[in-house]
Amino acid sequence: MANILLIGNAAREHVIAETILRSPQKPKLYAYMAAKNPGIAGLAAAAEIGPYSDREGIKAFAMKHNIDLAVVGSEAPIAEGVVDALKEVGIVSASPTKAMARLETSKGFTRSLMQKYGIAGLPKFRICSTMDEAQEFAGGLAEIVVKPDGLTGGKGVKVQGDHFATKEEGLSYAQELMHKGGSVLIEEKLDGEEFSLQSFTDGTTVTDCPPVQDHKRAYADDKGPNTGGMGSYTTGRLLPFMTEQDLVDAHGITVKVAQALKKELGKPYVGIMYGGFIITKDGVRLIEYNARFGDPEAMNVLPILRSDIVELFRRMVEGTLHEMRVEFDPAPTVCKYAVPKGYPEHPVKGEAVDVSAVPKDAMLYYASVAENNRKLIMSASRAIAVVGIGRTIEEAERLAQIAVESIRGPIAFRKDIGTKKLLQKRIEHMAAVKRR
């Protein structure tokens, strides 16, 4: 029997918790959360609430419960160096150290690493620390993307045509970022279809989950402001706009980046490497890496993971992932998020949601909700994720849609995620990009 510590309090950690408890090893789950997620707390043998910066508190909680292995679900505690802190008391983690997590926390680090090791899949980019540099580089590009070189919860990236109209406006945003301190990444704007490839790795062997497509925009038809992700789908195999070669190429990039990290840092990267890729006219390009599962993407792949995740985590730590055959049910899944009305710009706060009418054939994961007098109370962020698993994507979508509609309260959701119509739009967009 193993004692597993899970750190994080999002819906992603709720599904990780559930997957850990499906292990035939019958592990005991312990949870450390910045805010109490009632879903995770209900599954854990013991839970502690505290800030992710409290390294001593996390160590003490882990030692008290004789933790054998830890897993950190979200980026904030990874960036705080929670894995390093646990290491100080001899506790291993299937998640990266602070130094390794630069893969996510510094976009410049990852771009430079790929360049240094000659890894394909880079857009044209430059890390700029002066406006002269930024202006000169932007001058040579048709359209630009401006990114701060740090962890911004996906909110600091601005894309020409989406967030600003002209290059000059983009450059004034770059100036604003420079004033705040730190360097700025200027990149060529890529056009194509995006997908998420989440991979387990021990630093050498890279084992992929089925590719997933997330939907960042708040409203149907990809309108409205960007969010953490309103929902996502997988077919269990290739996405409908993707070729086998696209997947092979994305996998190859992740393998090479893992190798480069090992060479550069002298140790293997242990954890999840989640590549955000885009299929362009000229092939697959890397947008960014995250050092953790995606949220919502974790909810698409973990419910269909057939293999024992505890064994997977252990092998990642021990460096023996190559000895394990990791299997998924080849089933399509659709995840839809219920968010507070008005999210993300003017969300209602503190309103109750009732999930009692959600049918049992859909999976339900708690995100930013608190339990108060047996009521679920929403905060200002994504509240509840539902997942439909079907024999076909239509069936999975229908289950997810019925489930999200059954949630009572002042919520919003995207009806179009996983529908035939939206999938067809993706296929047509991809075809149009390739014709250009």
Binding site for ligand GLY (CB under 6 A): 154, 214, 229, 290, 294-295, 297
Binding partner selected for residue 157 from ligand AMP, ligand GLY, none, CB under the kind-specific 5 to 8 Å limit: ligand AMP
CB under 8 Å to 405, separation ≥6 — which residues?
A: none
Using CB under 6 A, pick the residue from 62, 83, 86, 157 that binds ligand AMP. Answer: 157
* 276 scored as a contact of ligand AMP (CB under 6 A): yes
The answer to whether 156 and 299 have CB atoms below 8 angstroms apart is: no
Among 253, 295, 283, 296, which Cα is nearest to 103's? 253
Nearest-approach distance from CB 111 to ligand AMP, in angstroms: 10
Nearest-approach distance from CB 46 to ligand AMP, in angstroms: 35
Q: E strands within 8-139?
A: 28-33, 46-49, 69-72, 92-93, 125-128
Please choose, out of 24-32, 169-177, 183-191, 329-337, the segment that lies near ligand AMP by the rule CB under 6 A.
183-191
Using CB under 6 A, pick the residue from 38, 50, 150, 154 that binds ligand AMP. Answer: 154
Nearest-approach distance from CB 277 to ligand AMP, in angstroms: 10
Binding partner selected for residue 57 from ligand GLY, ligand AMP, none, CB under the kind-specific 5 to 8 Å limit: none
* 159 scored as a contact of ligand AMP (CB under 6 A): yes
CB-wise, 193 or 297, nearer to ligand GLY?
297
* 222 scored as a contact of ligand AMP (CB under 6 A): no
* 123 scored as a contact of ligand AMP (CB under 6 A): yes
Token output for 266: 């002298």
Nearest-approach distance from CB 112 to ligand GLY, in angstroms: 21
Binding partner selected for residue 27 from ligand AMP, ligand GLY, none, CB under the kind-specific 5 to 8 Å limit: none
Binding partner selected for residue 123 from ligand AMP, ligand GLY, none, CB under the kind-specific 5 to 8 Å limit: ligand AMP
* 170 scored as a contact of ligand AMP (CB under 6 A): no
Sheet of strand 283-290: strand arrangement: 206-208, 193-201, 271-280, 283-290
Among 93, 104, 100, which Cα is nearest to 32's? 93
* 297 scored as a contact of ligand AMP (CB under 6 A): no
Phi, psi of 197 (to 5 degrees): -115, 110
Nearest-approach distance from CB 55 to ligand GLY, in angstroms: 24
Nearest-approach distance from CB 222 to ligand AMP, in angstroms: 10
Q: Say how many C-beta atoms besides its own lie within 10 A of residue 292's C-beta.
A: 29
Token output for 263: 């060479």
Measured CA to CA, the distance from residue 368 to residue 344 in angstroms comes to 13
The answer to whether 166 and 143 have CB atoms below 8 angstroms apart is: no
Nearest-approach distance from CB 189 to ligand GLY, in angstroms: 19
Nearest-approach distance from CB 357 to ligand GLY, in angstroms: 27
Using CB under 6 A, pick the residue from 113, 190, 364, 383 that binds ligand AMP. Answer: 190
Q: What is the DSSP letter of 190?
A: P
Measured CA to CA, the distance from residue 217 to residue 162 in angstroms comes to 11
Nearest-approach distance from CB 125 to ligand AMP, in angstroms: 8
Binding partner selected for residue 145 from ligand GLY, ligand AMP, none, CB under the kind-specific 5 to 8 Å limit: ligand AMP
CB under 8 Å to 44, separation ≥6 — which residues?
A: 6, 17, 29, 30, 31
Nearest-approach distance from CB 107 to ligand AMP, in angstroms: 6
CB-wise, 123 or 342, nearer to ligand AMP?
123
CB-wise, 154 or 240, nearer to ligand GLY?
154
Among 58, 4, 12, 62, which Cα is nearest to 37's? 12
CB-wise, 30 or 109, nearer to ligand GLY?
109
Binding partner selected for residue 290 from ligand AMP, ligand GLY, none, CB under the kind-specific 5 to 8 Å limit: ligand GLY
Element (H, E) at 193: strand 193-201
Measured CA to CA, the distance from residue 297 to residue 413 in angstroms comes to 16
Q: Say how many C-beta atoms besides its own lie within 10 A of residue 164's C-beta.
A: 17
Token output for 363: 């999976």
Q: Are strands 375-378 and 223-226 parallel, antiparallel or unpaired?
A: unpaired
Q: What is the SS3 assignment for 261?
A: helix
Sheet of strand 352-353: strand arrangement: 352-353, 375-378, 369-372
Using CB under 6 A, pick the residue from 133, 288, 311, 351 that binds ligand AMP. Answer: 288
Residues that bind ligand AMP (CB under 6 A): 123, 145, 147, 154, 157, 159, 187, 189-190, 194, 276, 287-288
